[in-house]
């Protein structure tokens, strides 16, 4: 087994010259290592320009800080994996995007991590502290898929289309306050940092469930009726056909990759002023075996077609980055560009070459 691992890790760094790095290509971590070796050289070889990772507020601040804006407050427990990854990403020419998520019990009345803070100023102060802690980080995402019931609370499930009831409107309105507060905390440290809000996902199907993207946009308002501040709109555009902006709209309020042109029009209509770019946080193409979350897998030839189609769309200035999630295969997920031993999958070189 040790010999196999050595061969596999050798395969990671072998091959042609590295691809030119671009923020259009993002990758999600951890993992940042495999079999004890750093994956950042591999990510650099593939041309990734952004390393995305999660920063859990509830884990970093398990007890209430006396001075929550001070990163040196003893209540803060900054994870080594974030500190190390930020440094190594920088050394390998990659920007870092940190996703702030998870409310500690002391900030939400003893509720679970999904529950919104009782006072939005609590996340404002944490955003200030973490921005001071990691001054090289310039990209900040506020919560992941908050329109999903398992990720944000309180949230009342809704029909795929139509107006939301008063109870259903609570979640997007709470999120608007949380986002605006975090924006203020980050910009107080460095106004040039970019804040990613919304952070919706495809959400397909005709049954009641997540609040759909267009509904989330419509009702995401502050108490005075204004819109929360952000620099980009985040969306996870999972798709079940080749990305093509000429495709007809997805049914039941879904927003797949092919719907991104329509999503931009809805955002432009609802958020006046400077047009928001799209930060496409999570995407990938499953190959090799059926992905248990996506429910399908593509053969290499078709996967290459999808890959080229997606990055052709990404050339537009309205699209900031496309984050490849699960870069290493797991038992559930086959979107990896490497298998679990670090061996390059057939799609590796195609991804490396795509521009």
Contacts of 34 (CB under 8 A, 6+ apart): 9, 12, 328, 338, 342
For the entire predicted model, the pTM comes to 0.95
Whole-number Å distance between alpha carbons of 218 and 126: 28
Mean pLDDT in order along the chain per 10 residues (355 residues)? 38 69 94 90 98 98 98 98 96 98 98 98 98 98 97 97 97 98 98 98 91 98 98 97 97 97 98 95 97 97 98 98 97 97 97 96
Whole-number Å distance between alpha carbons of 264 and 319: 10
CA atoms within 13 A on the CB side of 173: 14
- Tell me if the domain spanning 2-353 has CATH number 3.40.50.620: no
What's the alpha-carbon Rg for the chain, to the nearest Å? 20
Structure confidence at residue 166 (pLDDT): 98
Q: Name all contacts of 187-192 with Cβ < 8 Å and 24+ positions apart.
A: 188/128, 188/131, 189/128, 189/131, 189/132, 189/135, 190/131, 190/135, 190/138, 192/138
Structure confidence at residue 15 (pLDDT): 56
Task: Choose among 41, 48, 133: nearest CA to 91.
Answer: 41
Whole-number Å distance between alpha carbons of 174 and 152: 10
């Amino acid at each position: 087994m040790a010999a196999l691992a050595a061969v596999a890790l050798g395969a990671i760094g072998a091959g042609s010259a590295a691809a030119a790095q671009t923020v259009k290509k993002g990758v999600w971590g951890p993992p940042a290592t495999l079999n004890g070796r750093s994956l950042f050289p591999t990510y650099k070889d593939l041309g990734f320009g952004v390393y995305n990772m999660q920063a859990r507020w509830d884990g970093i601040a398990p007890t209430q800080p006396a001075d929550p804006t001070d990163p040196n407050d003893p209540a803060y427990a900054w994870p080594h994996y974030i500190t190390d990854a930020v440094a190594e990403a920088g050394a390998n020419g990659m920007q870092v995007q940190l996703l702030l998520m998870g409310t500690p019990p002391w900030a939400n009345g003893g509720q679970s991590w999904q529950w919104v803070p009782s006072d939005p100023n609590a996340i404002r102060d944490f955003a200030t502290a973490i921005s001071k802690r990691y001054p090289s980080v310039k990209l900040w995402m506020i919560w992941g898929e908050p329109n999903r019931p398992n990720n944000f609370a309180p949230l009342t499930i809704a029909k795929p289309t139509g107006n939301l009831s008063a109870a259903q409107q609570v979640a997007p309105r709470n999120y608007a306050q949380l986002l605006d507060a975090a924006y203020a905390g980050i910009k107080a440290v460095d106004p040039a940092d970019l804040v990613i809000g919304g952070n919706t996902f495809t959400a397909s199907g005709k049954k009641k469930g997540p609040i759909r993207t267009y509904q989330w946009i419509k009702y995401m308002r502050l108490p005075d009726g204004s819109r929360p501040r952000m620099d980009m709109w985040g969306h996870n555009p999972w798709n079940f056909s080749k990305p093509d902006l000429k495709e007809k709209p997805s049914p039941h309020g879904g927003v797949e990759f092919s719907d991104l042109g329509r999503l931009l029009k809805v955002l432009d209509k609802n958020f006046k002023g400077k047009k928001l770019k799209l930060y496409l946080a999570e995407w990938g193409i499953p190959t090799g075996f059926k992905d248990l979350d996506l429910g399908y897998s593509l053969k290499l030839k078709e996967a290459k077609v999808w890959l080229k189609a997606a990055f052709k769309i990404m050339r537009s200035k309205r699209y900031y980055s496309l984050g490849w999630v699960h870069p290493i295969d797991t038992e559930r997920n086959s979107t990896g560009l490497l298998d679990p031993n670090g061996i390059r999958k057939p799609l590796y070189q195609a991804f490396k070459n795509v521009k």
